[in-house]
Amino acid sequence: MLKKLIVFLLIGTLGYTLAVTFSSIPIGANRIGSLDNPETVAAYYLDKSPNDLKVANTITAVVVNFRGFDTLGEVSVLFLAATGLASILYRKEEEEEEEENKRHISHRLNLPSSSLVQTGAKILFPLILLLGIYVFIHGHLTPGGGFQGGAIIATGFLLMLVSYKGFKNNHKIMVWLESLAGLGFVGVGLYGLIRYGSFLQNTGWTGNLNDLVSGGLIPLIYIFVGIKVATELTNVLDILLNIKSRRK
């Protein structure tokens, strides 16, 4: 009985705290600007993105700059999910070698993909990679960004994994790229913290609006995000497909 009472008190306290917190947030109200010239949060973003940051895509400015620390958390969640999946499906080196031999034997027994599918995959694979790179490099100018571009690149590797039974990703290169991208993201954030006193603070030089080299550090951050998302999703797809092939 005492345990139930404690649980109810904790839930009630938590509910009351959340209710008071959310009720005190004036959603949609004028929060920025002086009393004579009130300005909504949306208007602030729409004004600062093209004028101060020189970023044509306001969503990119919000995601990477105004709430960039939250984006770092999202990338970390994706990393933890991929790491957790790899940990669950981890196999010892001896088991991997034995499974690799079995895979070669089963590869001879199974019919390969048709030449039409393989030829199409060879043609589409580099084009898909270029499209993904284009999307996250131009994320500050057009709709798209690191998450979208990384997902597109992962679909290119998925096409190769499905089309070629013997196609394998170089996990060492993937891990290095993922690690460097994550360190680059954090490094850019620390640079803003050390020089400007704010984590992920954009630089003073932002270029001209609608130029490829503009937006300060925002395009660089999206490049790191795109590489990290692409490598993590590709590794997840590779692991899942290998597990599926072993169960057949």
pLDDT 10s digits, 205-225 = 788 888 888 888 888 888 999
Q: What backbone phi and psi angles, to 5 degrees, belong to 39? A: -145, 130
Per the structure, the complete domain to which residue 93 belongs is given by: 2-247
Name every residue whose Cβ is closer than 8 Å to that of residue 214 and which is 6 or more positions away in sequence.
54, 55, 140, 141, 206, 207, 208
Q: What is the pLDDT of residue 97?
A: 52
Per the CB < 8 A criterion, the answer to whether 181 and 231 are in contact is yes
pLDDT for the residue numbered 128:
95
pLDDT for 241 beyond 50? yes
Q: What is the pLDDT of residues 135-162, one digit of tens each?
A: 999 988 888 888 899 999 999 999 998 8
Return the minimum-mean-pLDDT range out of 4-13, 129-138, 168-177, 217-226.
Answer: 168-177
Neighbours of 75 (CB within 10 A): 21
Predicted confidence (pLDDT) per residue in 174-187, tens digit: 888 888 988 888 88
Decide if 170 contacts 152 (C-beta within 8 A): no
Q: Which residue has the tokens 């089309």?
A: 163
pLDDT of 134 higher than 90: yes
What confidence category does residue 111 fall into, taking pLDDT thresholds of 50, 70 and 90? low
> Residue 123 above 90 pLDDT?
yes
Query: Residue 133's beta-bridge partner residues?
Result: none
- The residues, any chain, with a CB within 8 Å of residue 78's CB and separated by 6 or more, are 228, 229, 232
Whether 233 contacts 193, CB under 8 Å: no
Q: How confident is the model at residue 93 (pLDDT cuts 50, 70, 90)?
A: very low
User: Per the structure, how many domains does the chain have?
Assistant: 1
pLDDT of residue 37 exceeding 80:
no
What is the spatial distance between Cα 29 and Cα 105, in angstroms, rounded to a whole number? 66
Measuring CA to CA, which residue among 202, 245, 248 is closest to residue 221? 202
Mean pLDDT of the chain, nearest integer: 79
